[in-house]
Chain A
Amino acid sequence: MLSNYIKIAWKVLLRHPFYTFITLFGISLTLTVLMVLTSFLDHLFGTHYPETKRDRSLYVMQMMQMDSGRTSRNSGPMSFRFLTEYAKSLKTVERVTICTFVNSSNAYVGSQKIKLNTKFTDADFWEVTDFDFLEGKPYNDQNIANSDQIVVITDDFKKHYFGNTNESVIGKDVEIENLHYRVIGVVKGSPVTRPFTYADVYYPYTAPKSNYQRTGMRGNYVAILLAKKKSDLKTVQAEFQSHIARIPLPGVQDGFKFAVLEVKSEPYLENFLGTLMDGNKGIKTVFFGVLAFIMLMLMGLPAINLVNVNVSRIMERASEIGIRKAFGAPIRTLMWQFIIENIFITFLGGGIALILTLIVIQLINSSGMIAYADLTINVNVFLISLLVCLVFGLLSGVVPALRMSKLNIAEALKS
């Protein structure tokens, strides 16, 4: 039965190549957009290199201070001292790293200026993250205690600074902002879309210009709290909040008198959305609501179009429907035939879309638009794509199938 349906679907496709092209073009383009979008969202929010422990990490990105009337506020990253006191001291975590976000610097190779992004981190940074060391090793607490003038660089920076060399650069000297550092390790870089780990050069926080000794609550540091296991996230959050609650209020920061202090430790997605949407409650619901709406629109409009194309194409097959009914096909069986045919065509479009998506992803990854972009079609993306194909097939197949299966047999045979 199934092979008969698929055989028919295939023949119907071959009957009008132009219609088929339009249909498949519409389906595959829509599904490509959806798959690339899904892949990009997975790239942004999924657990990927070097943040392979993201699913059991909490991110502390900013502090918000407000006056008693909540009319003025002051927000941004925190000082190293603050995070050491309130985050490093947590008991329920496996590890905590404190690092800066991304800072800009310049280095010179001869007279050529290289713009680069740098990051000051503690030694735990290399434990909380999962960087691949292509050469050398990370700095440790001893290096930090000794205030060693050392750096870990990315393979990309190595290429720019030392040229295309296969030789190890461990122990070699790099000059950044007129200061000399010894390269201790070379890592495969992190994409720019992962700001907690992205940089070209990583310094120990005791390196010059890190401002780690700055007093007060505010500064230029953030933290990642790594829980022992995923189920511990709530416990860690609760402990961190209890630490924050110990801070006496009201307080004064750089002349700003604040009565309210908010510092959140959140999973990556919430942290990202919270930053985008200014900490609104229910942001996750809003975000996924908007995303679902966009996806539905992206699928719904072409699906409606496909319904029209399908209805007019199925009208040509009225005689076939009449014959099948005359020889004993019940309405339900015929409906399934058309739905299965449509799903088959959608999956055909899905197959094309998968190839197109792979090409688009490859282009994005190799274009350099996003440094170290690693967009992929992983199991999640693939399963979502399959589901999308199925929904799309059903959306565009049910209406024509319903109309056709209810056709009067005698009328259908006359056509």
Chain B
Amino acid sequence: MINLTNIEKVYRTSSIETLALNNINLNIHKGEFVSIMGPSGCGKSTLLNIMGLLDEPSKGTVELDGQRVASYRDKELAHLRNQKIGFIFQSFHLINDLSVVDNVEIPLLYRSTNGKPRQAYAKEALEKVGLSNRTKHFPKQLSGGQKQRVAIARAIVGKPEIILADEPTGNLDSAMGNEIMNILQSLNNEGATIVMVTHDESMAKRTHRLIRLFDGTQVQ
């Protein structure tokens, strides 16, 4: 599903060159639930961003469903992200000015889905995460756990094959974290491929496979 070959990511400033990822080779298979662990600053999020086509590697190739994306232009990359990938972030990244349902609709805006079906899909996704009674609320009116559930609804509304979650339980207490993990597991059971960055061993244990990074290098 996702193949990374000899991935290297270097951040350059005028005086410093930082090697964030070094020679990463990774295959994520369809239907897998993979967790990535490692200390802060080891390159976990960078790796996830590269998998999700949010960032480009300095070296190496990224293949999604067998397609090399290096030569893709902005429009094609945007289309791939829109169709195949859903993102969940640690800090939720909801748009505070939009209601819950409007936030969830965002991926569908870029598929030219009409207003009514768009809203119906968004409500369906919210129902799946148990938030169908909060559609008109605004993010500021929700708890952390509820915000993350909205973010999950937004990630799954377009029925993507891949869900990339960057520390989805990082800002939540353990009970809420467990709830979110349950949702992710049920999505995986329904067929979604999930890659999750986490600091929490107990969460990682609930996934199929664990990848450990240290200083940008894959150690497990």
Contact = CB atoms under 8 A, between A and B. Distances in A.
A324 B94 CA distance: 10
B93 A333 contact: no
A322 B98 CA distance: 15
A1 B95 contact: no
Given A408-B55, A410-B54, A327 B98 contact: no
B78 A8 contact: no
B55 A328 contact: no
A403 interface: no
B79 A15 contact: no
Contact of B82 (A3, A12, A327): A327
Contact of B109 (A4, A332, A409, A410): A4
Contact of A15 (B45, B87, B89, B97): B97
A230 B74 CA distance: 55
B81 interface: yes
Contact of B74 (A1, A11, A331, A413): A331
B110 A8 contact: no
B149 interface: no
For chain A, give the interface size range: 20 to 34
A76 B17 CA distance: 81
A17 to B, nearest CB: 14
Nearest to B48: A410
Contacts of A330: 74-75, 78-79, 110
Contact of A333 (B49, B86, B110, B154): B110
Interface string A305-327: 00000000000000110111111
Contact of B97 (A8, A322, A332, A333): A8
A115 interface: no
Main secondary structure of the interface of A (DSSP, over half): helix
10 contacts: A7-B98, A8-B98, A327-B86, A327-B158, A330-B78, A333-B78, A409-B55, A410-B46, A410-B54, A410-B55
Contact of A327 (B45, B55, B107, B115): B107
Interface in B9-59: 45-46, 49, 52, 54-55
A329 interface: yes
Contacts of B81: 325-328
Interface in A280-327: 319-320, 322-327
Interface residues of B, number: 30
B102 interface: yes
Interface in A392-408: 408
Contacts of B183: none
Given A323-B93, A328-B110, 10 more contacts: A319-B93, A320-B95, A326-B54, A327-B106, A328-B83, A330-B78, A331-B78, A332-B75, A410-B46, A413-B89
A410 B110 contact: no
Contacts of B54: 325-326, 409-410, 413
A111 to B, nearest CB: 72
Contacts of A409: 49, 54-55
